[in-house]
Structure 1
Amino acid sequence: MTTDHLGAHGPAGRVWLITGASSGFGLAIAEAALAAGDTVVAAVRRPEALAEFAAAHPERVSPVALDVTDPARITEVAAEVLERFGRVDVLVNNAGRGLVGAVEETTEQELRELMDLHFFGPAALTRALLPQMRRRGSGAVVQMSSMGGRFSFPGVGAYSATKFALEGLSEALALEVAPFGVKVLIVEPGSFRTGFAGGGALLQSAPIDAYEETVGPVRAVLPSSDGKQPGDPAKAAAAIVAALDADRTPLRLALGNDATDAILGNLDAARAEALAWESVSRGTDFD
């Protein structure tokens, strides 16, 4: 990185730190940031996977090795990036993977590893980069959740649990940092062509025959959907950038017709249930 590019106060445009940036949403968001004239720190497990991408964008893409389940490495990377660039304007917690399995099928290790990846890692990285945003009075944290962060269904209980946790943390975070000019955006995609359902990205718990009727269809449908999903990652990335640039950035942004329909349906059902039981709910205070 040359000092001319960095300038007196760091690089021109925004500095993005994006985890899981080698493919899917992470890569699409990196490309959208570059198109906006910004600089991208691409945090991935294997930086060599981004060698060609970095070479195509000299001095504007900096791959860095990061396993977000390693707290010590998170601290190191945050310090290294701030030392080199002076700031991080946008943090995108995107690294993740899928897991299919009934709750009874999901092992303790599977659940803890997924929680480390989707919750504890993003929480640690957010804590590491938030002080410099707060001091500068600007910045944004983008939490890549899922429509499964709003509701759940058979076979994805563990996955949804991690996203529910991330959303709960982020909802409080948004209220805490708003006075400092820092934005929080929770992104809730539906089915997009990201590779999420293919290759080694989608893990499956050892099946129990009793759950074949409820979880079996999910085991079959998710892998078979790979490459056929309706969502366009490039359009999703553009929507995320537009939401961040808006005067009133939403707390939650659903992406895709499937996510929008499902979330609205879930909200309607939740309201109907709350109203149906309202008299019982209101009848539990002391007289």
Structure 2
Amino acid sequence: MTDTKQRVWFITGCSKGFGRVFVETLARRGDYIFATARVASTLDDLRGLAPERIRTAALDITDMAAIERAVADCIAAFGRIDVLVNNAGYGVAGPIEAVSDAQTRAIFDTNFFGTLNMTRAVLPHMRDRHQGHIIQLSSSHAWGAPPGLGMYSASKCALEGASETMAKEIEGFGIRLTILQPGPYKTDFLGTGLQLAERKLDAYANLMNGLGEARAANHLKQPGDPLGVARAMVEVVEAEQPPLRLLTGKIATERAKAKIEQVSNEYARWEPLALAADFAA
């Protein structure tokens, strides 16, 4: 039986990046963690951090049956789930015209549908207990990605749209939801976490060359330390009134401010036409 003073966390995508740092941080706090990844053996060392408080399991979040088994196993092991951290996800780089239909569906299957199904599987348990917190890992690119990351941005925008409405639907059950929007951090996102568009179109050669150069120059050289996101996440979960969205990092904050200013200015400029559209005369 778990100590009720410590939280039980269910975390996806723990083999590397944010997920791994989340597990390490929470283990040091004395919390209980059900850590998952597509390949369970990549988590062996994490389980060793606190064998009595950490369970690991293979989980592909595009497999609904696997999701349901993992949720049941976590509850069987620890008795409850206090916090669900939907961290699993990846990116696709390339102009939207060059991203194949198969790639588009695959990234949405993970970043949107997989995360949504993971959330749906945990919600009945949290509703029964009338408490819980869901953390959705999004990206500062949900505010608008640069050329070449449009499909990744689209998957995160879809997640944020559904999550914002869901947060309102579940608050009456005592369940909170927070969307984390990190900027660039030292993770493997620009390595194995980023696929390239399958189609090669000469018209976008300059864009693809630029993406390749940026990827090589910035991989594992990003300014942010993932530990900062882990600490911010814990603080959000402990807050009496947690935010719906939390930007993390200076770059993410600057991106959001620039987007808000751009949208505000554009709306103001075109407001007369927007208002006139009410009338057909």
TM-score (norm 1): 0.93
Residue 60 of structure 1 aligns with which residue? 53
Give the Å deviation of 1:165.
Answer: 0.4
CA distance, structure 2, for counterparts of residue 84 and residue 11 of structure 1 = 14
Q: Name stretches of at least 5 consecutive residues in structure 2 with no aligned partner.
A: none
**Residues of 2 paired with 1:251 and 1:222: CA distance?**
31
Q: How many Å apart are 1:157 and its aligned residue?
A: 1.1
Aligned match of 2:194: 202
Q: Deviations over 1:63-99 (max 9, x none)?
A: 1110011112112212222233221111011111121
Match of 1:114 in 2: 107
Q: List structure 1 runs of 4+ shifted beyond 6 angstroms.
A: none
Q: Hey, what does 1:211 align to over in structure 2?
A: 204
- Matched to 1:216, the amino acid is N
**1:62 shift after superposition:** 0.6
**Residue of structure 2 equivalent to 1:78:** 71
Q: What CA distance in whole angstroms lies between the structure 1 residues aligned with 2:87 and 2:238?
A: 19
In structure 1, distance between residues paired with 2:150 and 2:212: 13
Normalised to the residue count of structure 2, the TM-score between the two structures is: 0.95
Residue pair 1:149, 1:160 contacting (<8 A) in 2 also: yes
Query: Structure 1, residues 178-212: CA drift from partner, whole Å, max 9, x if none?
Result: 112211110111110011112x2221013312113
Contact 1:154-1:215 within 8 A present in 2 as well:
no
Matched, 1:183 2:170: no
CA contact 1:11–1:39 (8 Å) conserved in 2: no
Contact 1:78–1:128 under 8 Å retained in 2: yes
Match of 1:227 in 2: 220
Identical aligned pairs, as a percentage?
38
Contact map agreement 1:92 1:143 (CA 8 A) in 2:
yes
Residue in structure 2 matching 1:254, options 234, 238, 247: 247
1:277 aligns with 2:270: yes
Cα shift at 1:224: 2.6
Partner of residue 15, structure 1? 8
**Residue from 96, 118, 123 that aligns with 1:103:** 96
1:174 to 162, 167, 171: 167
Counterpart position of 1:141: 134
What residue identity is the alignment partner of 1:203?
A: Q
**C-alpha distance after superposition, 1:188-243 (max 9, x if no partner):** 11110011112x22210133121133443123202331111000001111011111
Q: Aligned equivalents of 1:123 and 1:19: distance in 2?
A: 13
Report the 3-state secondary structure (helix = DSSP H, G, I; strand = E; otherwise coil) of the residue aligned with 2:96: coil
Q: Secondary structure at 2:97's aligned position in 1? A: coil
Change (3 A) 1:118 1:223: farther
Is contact 2:23-2:46 (8 Å) kept?
Answer: no
1:239 aligns with 2:223: no
Partner amino acid, structure 2, of 1:169: A
Paired letter, 1:201: G
Aligned residue for 2:178, secondary structure, equals strand
Contact kept? 1:15, 1:39, Cα under 8 Å: yes
Distance in 1 between residues matched to 2:62 and 2:252, nearest whole Å: 28
Contact residue 24 and residue 46 of structure 2 kept, 8 A? no
Q: Once the 2 structures are TM-superposed, how far is the Cα of residue 132 of structure 1 from its aligned partner? A: 1.3
Tell me, what secondary structure is at the counterpart of 1:104? Answer: helix
What is the letter of the counterpart of residue 157 of structure 2? F
SS of equivalent residue, structure 2 residue 98: coil
SS of match in other structure, 1:56? coil
| Aligned AA (2:62) | T
State the 1:36 CA deviation: 2.5
Moved more, 48-57 or 124-133: 48-57
- CA-atom RMSD in angstroms: 1.5
Q: Deviations over 1:107-161 (max 9, x none)?
A: 0000000001101001001001011112212111100000111212210111011
Give yes or no for contact 1:89–1:138 (8 Å, CA) kept in 2: yes
Deviation at 1:12, TM superposition (A): 5.0
Using the TM superposition, give the Cα deviation of residue 16 of structure 1 relative to its aligned residue in structure 2, in angstroms: 0.4
